[in-house]
Structure 1
């Protein structure tokens, strides 16, 4: 009877002691413990000390040899090597592609390739393609300033210019005059005596002085009627005085030769 009782007590104690010795001998090695478990298995553990011992530091904590330890961060040091776990590795990024739009905003992309696929619970492959916004002007139509679009002649009455042409010899030699026949003018033009000549049917003369010549227009004044359809005008000194006209004649710097009164002369600005 006593023998049976002793056996019932001693045998479990011996087995437990043997199991603890195996754990201690295994250290933190999955290979020595011959453990490699799939999924999450709390029994797939390697413990350096007795499970009933007081943990005094990180070195006394158990480590695991199941695939869940990768996410939980409690794997034994040799788990990946022992259990054939392979992290995905990729190449470096390739060059950015050309912008998919030849004019304006678009997108461009780049990619990288998989060198080693992930296995047995290793880290998954990261993003293989990415894109970003780009801007291109390769095919944008470039404005030809020698043929501008929708030119509008900007005018001031000669008496508001504050300078005499005779004081600027370059104006006399390089400027020119243009005669226009007014075909439309707003009512605001009639309220200003200096603009009284800007009425339908009247011919007016406009002088292009040197300082009003524009290089981007091949050294001519804006709105001088050189461009087809460029028949709109606006007076800077009167915001609401504007209209349309037709060019009838262009001469050199001497405007007096034009068929219009000298007091009707305006200036391009």
Structure 2
């Protein structure tokens, strides 16, 4: 039989061990990135098991984090800067692509949200070459892009002269190539909404609008309503098709997914 003095001694030892289990361990000052087996402690885990626990980002997946991981190692979402200004078009005098970028200000940590895309592209077209000479106009197809990517374009020509406010042309889509709906790049996802039989609105505005002619390339103003006209999506050269002119209006009134702009 255990004596009373010996029993009291064991009770004190057990009490001390239990108290230490409650107050020792944890992630205070031990948070680590990625999966790091050396980033560990001895204490209570989130699953209420006492023993080795971890304070690295990988413990969330392996479910062996220390009990205070989310308190001591809060998630840090990625933060990025504002977008830079759009670059010039990659090629003058023809449909091309412009780019804008942003940079990471804080990398994500402790399973925080990953960084978004740091680059955005949009279709564009320069109207003067590298020497500053006007590119001239052609009788080719109408080059179009999303109304969203057409925002923020200059309202003056290269010499600072004010340009007309513009107008809108309404068309009925007659055909389009299959590559329009197969597009998955961010700056040309808008081509998925081009569908046969729908009415679309295309804005003719600066800088594609020329004061000398009050028109945009391919707008069909000189064609009768039954003429089949051709269009081409800027940024996705495989997306093209035909449409017929409906009418010219002062402003575009189509839904956003069916609103475009001449380039």
How high is the TM-score relative to the length of structure 1?
0.38
More helix by share: 1
Q: Which entry has the higher C-alpha Rg, 1 or 2?
A: 1
How high is the TM-score relative to the length of structure 2?
0.38
